[in-house]
Amino acid sequence: MASAMTESLTIRRPDDWHLHLRDGAMLEGVLPETARHFARAIIMPNLVPPVVRGDDAMAYRDRIMAALPDGMAFEPLMTLYLTEATDPADVAAAAASGLVKAVKLYPAGATTNSASGVKDFDKVRGVLEKMAEIGLPLCTHGEVTTPEVDIFDREAVFIDRVLDPIRKSTPGLRVVMEHITTKNGVDYVKSQDDMGATITTHHLVINRNHILVGGIKPHYYCLPVAKREEHRVALVEAATSGAGPFFLGTDSAPHIDALKEHACGCAGCFTATNTLSVLAEVFEKAGALDRLEAFTSLNGPAFYRLPVNDETVTLTKGGAVDYPAKIETGAGPVTVFDPGFPLHWSVA
């Protein structure tokens, strides 16, 4: 609910439907940045070793909860990493227990710690059929990894070669196309039934020029890589439309600065700290502040068949909000995403 002067906005407490927390000292350092504003998050399973079985997910959940500071309320929604050896019965049991809310598909080599991902999709057909039977969503990293496909085309080719065939061969399978980066992705999701898509904070702000013009900007490098401006515009239009298939998944992905500012730098933008302030600016510019709640707090729970949060947060517009440039963790410093424009919306 926005005030008459649009100087404050109260929304249901948001959720993050795509989040990397890592493990160990990094987990302890970055978890409070999410838990400060978000009630729940879909937790990515690409650890080393990956979270493959229900027992792995339970152990990881326990580590997350142990790292949560006193006085903070946060619920990790666990996922399993799909491999060619994944057991359909184990997936079904983990889902039935309420622990696991989705299974994550990484094409092998697509992104950080994805070496255990799927190469032969025929080998996971039994798992996908079981997931369709029980209504468990498949979250997809939507890129092919074949070397002949240009990195800027990997999402569009994934839709044609992988995603559409999976949906046609597995009727009833509920799919989230995560961190979409192209108009192709927006249009495909719009054309489908019972399908969702997450959109990141940073892909609403940057295009590929931000990474490359005037020198390489390693803290804007992510996978899927940011695309042309026309694609960023399509993402903003989808996010600010309030349409049900589109919801927030930050893909906030911490790496220490030494691994980002490197000859072969890691992919990922760390946005957990300032996401709500950045989104408020994006939605305000689009004249869509009244639809921010749908994107951050309503559409995701509807897709995952979960209740919306009872709590609320209030964003207030005022002077420039001063976020830290870096978060200090026990693993090393992590740079907070810089949107490149002043932020005037603070979060209570």
What amino acid positions are annotated as catalytic residues? 251
Instruction: Report the Cα 44 to chain-centroid distance in Å.
Output: 8
Alpha helices in 80-179 (DSSP H): 88-96, 125-134, 154-158, 164-169
3-class SS of residue 317: strand
3 state SS for 173-227:
CCEEEECCCCHHHHHHHHCCCCEEEEECCHHHCCCHHHHHCCCCCHHHCCCCCCC
Q: Are 180 and 159 within 8 A, CB to CB?
A: no
Cα-based angle 300, 34, 24 (whole degrees, multiple of 5)? 120
Name the amino acid, one letter, at 304.
Answer: Y
The span from the CA of 293 to the CA of 296, in Å, is 5
Q: Are 80 and 91 within 8 A, CB to CB?
A: yes
Among 57, 73, 89, CA closest to 15: 73
b/e 129-167 (16+ beta carbons within 10 angstroms → b): ebbbeeebbbbbbbbbbeeebeebebbbbbbeebbeebb
